[in-house]
């Protein structure tokens, strides 16, 4: 058999096999079988050197024609099979566009953050500015400058997270008050929101929680200003029908001091289990800034007076939404968080 006949037979055999292939994978196998580095058609080209010189050009031309014909046949067959396989795949993966879609779950603002932002908006509408301070504080700013005595129980390790070198995790945002007063001249109306830390954990206390400290310093600030600011704030948070009362109390950094109560949001002052049948719920502490605190901030000439108050964001959030366990805020249970 001449090499030209052998070449033609290989071409026809390859075309016949490609034509009968039923999958694109089979066609790819045939491509390798005939056109690969060790393929049948490739191997016959190696016989070119055994031919007489006058036959080499003719055989080379015929070999290229056979190769091109096989390549075209393979590509055409692959196009047909790929389209067929794609149609089959799409039928298997059919999507009924008339069915309702599945909406992705979207996050939203945490209830504590919502309450904090609401409180900030109320106070900024009254002209208060926002200030921040470090969460790792010194004893000076956290206790000494706020008129805490050296033997005050709050300094105990059971209440405060202490580090070495006179450092601690702040137990309230009141240190911001001193830092602002040291660097500014009255008049000033400031709120200081942020995280605070105490060694306490149960259904109503968390080792980390959120507070907002508020204070105002100017000439002739008195208790009437304090009552007006807090009464307006509390009725905006809990409703216009909310009653507010001030009870005498004691805090090292204010004098006089007061605990501020609101009429029970559950029974509206009638008395229930939530308010201990008193009709009132304690909501925050407040008072006039103690003269010693003003002096520690550098106000030694007795020209200025000031008011201060502090409130817990978690407590207000729990009251607003009827939540009885503070730990629910931090457990990341979507069933709980999605209610807000």
Q: In sequence order, which residues have a C-beta less than 8 Å from that of residue 153 and are 6 or more positions away?
A: 159
Beta-bridge partners for 259:
247, 285
Measured distance CA(53)–CA(10) in Å, rounded: 23
Q: At what angle do helices 223-238 and 313-321 cross, to 10 degrees?
A: 40
Measured distance CA(194)–CA(172) in Å, rounded: 9
Q: In sequence order, which residues have a C-beta less than 8 Å from that of residue 296 and are 6 or more positions away?
A: 144, 145, 146, 147, 178
* Residue indicated by tokens 């925050």: 284
DSSP state of 100: P
- As its CATH architecture, domain 111-337 has 2-Layer Sandwich (3.30)
Residue-range domain boundaries for the chain: 3-92, 111-337
Which of left, alpha, beta for 96 (phi over 0: left; psi -120 to 50: alpha)? beta
pLDDT in tens, the chain (340 residues): 577 777 777 778 878 887 888 888 888 887 787 777 777 777 777 666 666 777 767 777 777 777 778 788 888 888 888 888 888 887 887 777 788 888 887 778 899 999 999 999 999 999 999 999 999 999 999 999 999 888 777 667 568 899 888 899 999 999 999 999 999 999 999 999 999 998 887 777 788 999 999 999 999 999 999 999 999 999 999 989 899 999 999 999 999 999 999 998 877 777 787 777 888 989 999 999 999 999 999 998 889 999 999 999 999 998 888 888 888 888 888 888 888 8
Measured distance CA(272)–CA(110) in Å, rounded: 29
Q: At what angle do helices 111-125 and 223-238 cross, to 10 degrees?
A: 140
Q: Provide the pLDDT for residue 48.
A: 64
Q: Provide the pLDDT for residue 140.
A: 92
Q: Provide the pLDDT for residue 218.
A: 95
* Residue indicated by tokens 């067959």: 77
pTM over 0.95: no
Give the residue from 77, 81, 80, 84 showing the smallest Cα distance to 18: 77
Element holding 68 (H helix, E strand):
helix 56-92
Q: Provide the pLDDT for residue 157.
A: 59
**Burial of 173 (C-beta count, 10 Å sphere; 0-12/13-18/19+):** buried
Give the residue from 53, 69, 213, 63 showing the smallest Cα distance to 137: 213
Beta-bridge partners for 244:
262
């Amino acid at each position: 058999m001449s090499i030209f006949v052998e070449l033609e037979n290989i071409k026809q055999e390859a075309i016949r096999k490609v034509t009968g292939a039923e999958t694109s994978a089979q066609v790819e196998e045939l491509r390798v079988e005939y056109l690969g580095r060790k393929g049948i058609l490739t191997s016959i080209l190696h016989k070119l050197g055994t031919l007489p010189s006058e036959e080499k050009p003719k055989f080379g031309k015929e070999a290229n024609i056979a190769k091109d014909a096989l390549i075209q046949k393979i590509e055409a067959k692959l196009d047909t099979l790929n389209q067929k396989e794609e149609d089959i795949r799409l039928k298997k993966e059919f999507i009924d566009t008339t069915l309702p879609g599945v909406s992705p779950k979207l996050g939203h603002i945490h209830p504590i953050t919502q309450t904090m932002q609401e409180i900030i908006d109320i106070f900024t509408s009254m002209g208060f500015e926002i200030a921040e301070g470090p969460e790792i504080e010194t004893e000076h700013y956290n206790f000494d400058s706020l008129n805490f005595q050296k033997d005050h129980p709050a300094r105990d390790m059971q209440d405060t997270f202490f580090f070495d070198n006179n450092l601690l995790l702040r137990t309230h945002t009141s240190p911001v008050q001193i830092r602002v007063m040291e660097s500014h001249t009255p008049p000033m109306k400031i709120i200081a929101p942020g995280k605070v830390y105490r060694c306490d954990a149960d259904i109503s206390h968390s080792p980390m929680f959120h507070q907002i400290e508020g204070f105002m310093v100017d000439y002739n600030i008195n208790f009437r200003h304090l009552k007006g600011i807090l009464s307006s704030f509390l009725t905006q948070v809990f409703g216009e029908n909310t009653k507010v009362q001030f009870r005498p109390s004691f805090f090292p950094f204010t004098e006089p001091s007061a605990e501020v109560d609101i009429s029970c949001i559950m029974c509206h002052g009638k008395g229930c289990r939530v308010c201990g049948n008193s009709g009132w719920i304690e909501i925050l502490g407040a008072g006039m800034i103690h003269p010693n605190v003003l002096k520690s901030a550098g106000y030694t000439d007795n020209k200025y007076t000031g008011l201060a108050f502090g409130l817990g964001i978690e407590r207000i959030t729990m009251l607003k939404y009827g939540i009885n366990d503070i730990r629910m805020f931090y457990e990341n249970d979507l069933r709980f968080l999605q209610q807000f």
